A and B are shown apart, each in its own frame.
Chain A
Amino acid sequence: MWARVVRLGFWSWGSWRRGFTSKADPQGSGRVTAEVIEHLERLALVDFGSQEAVARLEKAIAFADRLRAVDTDGVEPMESVLEDRCLYLRSDSVVEGNCAEELLQNAHRVVEEYFVAPPGNISLSKQDEQEPFSHN
């Protein structure tokens, strides 16, 4: 594993510099369309709210895109940083639970030991209630 990292390290230096300069216009490429923003807002229940936020997203994507400069041909993708660790197996015994009162203290509203949630699925506030922001 260490050897793999070192190898990547060597390659990435060269390509990173190549990659960075080849991305002529970080602003121009990687624009995020309004549809994608809407889609993300619905999926993740976040509110981009302003042009600045979208621009920040685009910069973040460009930053992460620099990973593409690394030549990973023939390299097994890493599944997780834990991939060489042992997955601990717990024995099937009851050791937790029975703390409804404590848990329910976290809830804003409670009905008879049930958490209370709004009906149906969690939805976005309607489009017209949001501040419109331009996206060119």
Chain B
Amino acid sequence: MAAPMLRWCCLGRRWVLACVDSGSRHGRGAAIGFTSSRKRGQSSVAQQPLITAQKSRKGEHKWAAVVGLEIHAQISSNSKLFSGSQVRFAAPPNSLVSFFDASLPGTLPVLNRRCVEAAVMTGLALSCRINKKSLFDRKHYFYADLPAGYQITQQRLPIAVNGSLAYSVCAGKKPSQVISKTVRIKQIQLEQDSGKSLHDELRSQTLIDLNRAEGQLRVDANISVHHPGEPLGVRTEVKNLNSARFLAKAIDSEIERQIHELENGREILNETRSFDYKLGCTMPMRDKEGKQDYRFMPEPNLPPLLLYDTASLPPGADPQQVINIDWIRERLPDLPSETREKLIQQYGMLPEHSFALLNEVGLLEFFQNVIKETRAEPKKVTSWVLNIFLGFLKQQNLAVNESPVTPTALAELLNLLDRKAISSSAAKQVFEELWRSKGKTPSQIVSEKQLELMQDEEALERVCHTVMEGHPQVVMDMKRGNSRAINKLIGLVRKATLSRADPTVIKEILEKKLSS
């Protein structure tokens, strides 16, 4: 079970995922097995009217699309939601399964305290109202990965409702053109996850592993279109989208499809569809013809879940058996918006840079570690981390924690640059070398490759003088005010010094010589 990952996607288009979800999992595409009380922190997402102006080719009314997301996020805990089996990826099949997880008769669900705390934290982080009383229900359907024949969820009265998430979208090509939007969170609920099914087409069978379902984050999208002012249209559900990029594509293509159908006089069926990545469009899912009837009923084995705050905490209660919302609220870590604000205040960072630092797992920590160990200006550090460091990571598709360059190494490099021991282009060379060959320090590389900047100003002046004498025409152009001429001279001097001279210093010397 993974933590409800509030993952932020600053997508180029219009979307952003609010985490939240609700339960209806039942995506069967790659699915998953059943069972076990896994728990999924889910919260259901809100509706966000989107105006898609593109398809009104006949000059008709504009269409508005309404999209709701159900986001299933696994909670990070040691054991499962309703049983004491371990939560772990990549374990031998069915090894993390208790009798309850296998739905053996006579077993009962026992609620995991940590999961409730995680759900409350998520609700608070998303500005929801936490329901002091919430209820568990059974949602019935048949699938091989759900041995009980039902999933324990919170349909009637979930643990948190009515929240919101503020996010930013790039409004234009420039990274600074960022606008702020809000999406409503309808509810957050705790629910079991199923197991994993592996479909064996060849032998016409399905293999079931009840350890846990795949994926730490899954999204289902509910999409409908209508003309503004008119009632909402029939919605379709697109299931099991696992990446933000495909989610956006799937939603866009489904909106287009619905508009196309309606404009051609056809109707939209209330059905479940899946996204075909290769074709780039949604297709109906065979298994899901007709509306599902889940026959919700209260979970008879679980009393209502009661939460307290400091004011309502019963005196003398066993602390292990009560959950205090205020206590959890006080211990919430900084939310991303607070962290970004601090970065902007503390380092004079541009907002778009603060977003970029928080968008990559581990990048903020990396940045802060470099800042701790370097004398260089925060702006310099920001630029190096976001442009050069991140660039290398992306090129080789690595995560921050897989980086061959440590914060200490980068800090040392920036120190060398800061005291002008090396030039900026030399620094980049050193970085490349650091990336390639682990274990060497920047200083070592600098001396190995002889990249130290010439400190001897007199020697540099002599080189400038020689170059100027050797290229009288260029000097003439320079005197006439041709700015390209001076750059040419700088280039020549740099070549002559084997790139060991700082271009700004060269420029100063040349200009001084010229005016004398």
Residue numbers of A with Cβ under 8 A of B are: 39, 43-45, 79-100, 103-104, 106, 111-122
Contact = CB atoms under 8 A, between A and B. Distances in A.
A114 B200 CA distance: 12
Contacts of A91: 113-114, 320
B143 A122 contact: yes
A82 B306 CA distance: 13
A113 B94 contact: yes
Nearest to B287: A121
Prevailing SS type, chain A contact patch:
loop
Contacts of A100: 92-95, 97
Interface string B89-117: 00011111111111010000011111110
A115 B303 contact: no
A122 B142 contact: yes
23 contacts: A45-B142, A83-B303, A84-B303, A87-B111, A87-B306, A89-B111, A89-B321, A90-B113, A91-B320, A93-B84, A94-B78, A94-B85, A94-B86, A96-B98, A96-B100, A103-B94, A103-B97, A114-B198, A114-B207, A114-B209, A117-B207, A118-B204, A122-B143
Interface of B: 28, 77-79, 83-86, 92-102, 104, 110-116, 135, 140, 142-144, 197-201, 204-210, 287, 293, 295, 298-306, 320-321, 323
Contact of B293 (A43, A81, A118): A43
A94 B287 contact: no
Given A94-B78, A121-B143, A122-B143, A115 B94 contact: yes
Contacts of B114: 91-92
A95 B245 CA distance: 39
Given A90-B113, A97-B86, A119 B79 contact: no
A97 B84 contact: yes
Contacts of A79: 135, 298, 304
A39 B291 CA distance: 11
Contact of B298 (A80, A115, A119, A122): A80
A80 B101 CA distance: 23
A117 B34 CA distance: 12
Nearest to A116: B205
Given A43-B295, A82-B303, A83-B304, A92 B94 contact: no
A97 B303 contact: no
Closest 5 CB pairs of A and B: A117-B144, A92-B114, A96-B98, A114-B207, A95-B84
A120 to B, nearest CB: 7
Given A87-B306, A117-B144, 4 more contacts: A43-B140, A80-B304, A89-B320, A97-B96
B300 A97 contact: no
B145 to A, nearest CB: 8
Nearest to A94: B86
A41 B204 CA distance: 25
Contacts of B206: 116-120
